[in-house]
Chains A and B, each alone.
Chain A
Amino acid sequence: MPKHDTPLMDELEKGPWPSFVSDLKRQAEKNPECWDILGQMELSYKDKITHWKHGGIVGVFGYGGGIVGRYSDSPDKFPGVAHFHTVRLNQPSSKFYSTEMLRKVCDLWEKHGSGMTNMHGSTGDMVLLGTRTEELEPLFFDLTHELKWDLGGSGSNLRTPSCCLGKARCEWACYDTQAACHTLTMHYQDEIHRPAFPYKFKFKFSGCANDCVASAARSDFAVIGTWRDNIRINQDEVKKYISGELKAGGGIADSFGAFDIKKDVIGHCPTGCMWMEGGDLKIDDAECTRCMHCINVMPRALRPGVDQGATIMMGAKAPILDGAQLATMVIPFVKPTADNDFEDLIEVIEKAWDWWMEFGKNRERIGETMQRVGLPSFLRVMEVEPIPQHVKEPRCNPYVFWEAAEVEGGWDRDIKEFRERHKM
């Protein structure tokens, strides 16, 4: 029986799509505090302001992350959500669950919390929505002892790493994203569970430039699969796409009309490095940016090269201080491998962390620190030689600043002596 009148929320049950309001009402029959979620949201819709307060010292012993304190600012009206803390669970790599584990976690959450979940939060965690402070330690005990499952990251911690399906299901994965994600999650347990940085830091692993976990937009450290040699071309299969025997993009492109290799493949190559010659498709691989477009359209004819690895990009973030920004390519090619426990990635990560922990300002993402000091300075920190692909646009500053080390013979400068002669 509804506890509050919720005409505005009820509107969200209309239409053909699934509704979280219907889900909440169904859950409220079992767990009446869910009526107060609906009541408080209705009030927020009327007042056009949130009635949640967030933050606090809630957590479980020894952990500085994984639980986000949330409280109602109207606990007298909505006692069921007076405390409504969020719990983040570290999802398995690629989010492969057994139904048995999903049932167990749902049962556990109905015992200790609202029963409402968010599958998944934007960082990648499974999110359990809404519990009281006194339930946190019992929940954590059951979670870790019975389900052998751990919390994810929050606050100024390393956030729960996430990865694409990778080699488990995808022929395009250029390295083992799941192994990288799992290995680094285990390696950096302390950084995930206890704050370490000026602000949050996220790793994401995609097996190719299709970037199914949106690492280039949503992580401070994006590892994106690529290859160094040439795209593998099967000219017989190219001809089958041209003749219509094979459907472009597995048939997904049918709605755009008949396949036209010039328009649909060559014309969409961002670097214009493809052409037809005597019935064969040609690629100037030195100019190819490994964007994956042509491979997506003709997967039977084109495949990534065989010398595979990954590009490391850094500094993406959502708009908090300076606005949203995409990642910047920092290391063009590494070969991440479980054979050396991904030490090539670890070396780059720790170099960046040591610098950012020292020079990053409070609440400054590493991308903002990079932007503040400029890419040339950041590349020096990372000990990377600049290459043309690091250049975003032609220079508009006519001055060239040289470091002493870049000039033959260098120079010495005594600023005190200079100021003696040139008073400020």
Chain B
Amino acid sequence: MALSIEELKAAILEKALNGPKPQLYLKDFYACDPDSKPRVIKKAANEMVTEGKMVFWSSGSTTMYAAKGRAKDEESRGT
């Protein structure tokens, strides 16, 4: 059975905080709940950005997600 949206958000955050990769593609979160549809996972991940727990990192052509504070940020390197 698919996880509830709150359980899904917790699983996504756990992966974003403690996974080996600091920045993840949306698809990398699919494994958090194989029973949830990609659109539900997208919704959960995007809601967490609105809640301030995660951030988008974008190259311009593609977008990745990171737990707040884990993203590679040009500005924090003083540029």
Chain A interfacial positions (CB closer than 8 Å to B): 53-59, 62, 64-65, 68-69, 71-73, 75, 82-83, 86, 133, 154-157, 194-200, 320, 354, 357-358, 360-363
Contacts and interface: CB of A to CB of B under 8 A. Distances in A.
B62 A200 contact: yes
Given A56-B74, A75-B79, A357-B38, A65 B63 contact: yes
B76 to A, nearest CB: 9
Given A64-B63, A198-B26, A362-B27, A71 B79 contact: yes
Question: Lowest 10 A-B CB distances belong to which pairs?
Answer: A155-B63, A68-B60, A357-B38, A195-B63, A55-B59, A155-B58, A156-B63, A64-B56, A362-B25, A194-B46
A53 B74 contact: yes
Given A53-B74, A155-B62, A195-B63, 19 more contacts: A55-B74, A56-B73, A56-B75, A57-B66, A62-B50, A68-B58, A72-B79, A73-B79, A82-B79, A154-B58, A154-B61, A156-B26, A195-B56, A195-B58, A196-B26, A198-B25, A200-B61, A200-B62, A361-B27
A308 B41 CA distance: 39
B8 interface: no
Contacts of B46: 64, 194-195
B63 to A, nearest CB: 3
Contacts of B62: 155-156, 199-200, 362-363
Contacts of B74: 53, 55-56, 69, 71
Looking at chain A's contact residues, is the secondary structure mostly helix, strand, loop, or mixed?
loop
17 contacts: A55-B58, A55-B74, A72-B79, A82-B79, A154-B58, A155-B60, A156-B25, A156-B26, A156-B63, A195-B56, A195-B58, A196-B26, A198-B25, A198-B27, A200-B61, A357-B39, A358-B38
Contacts of A157: 63
B contact residues, range:
20 to 34
Interface in B38-79: 38-39, 42, 46, 49-50, 55-63, 66, 71, 73-75, 79
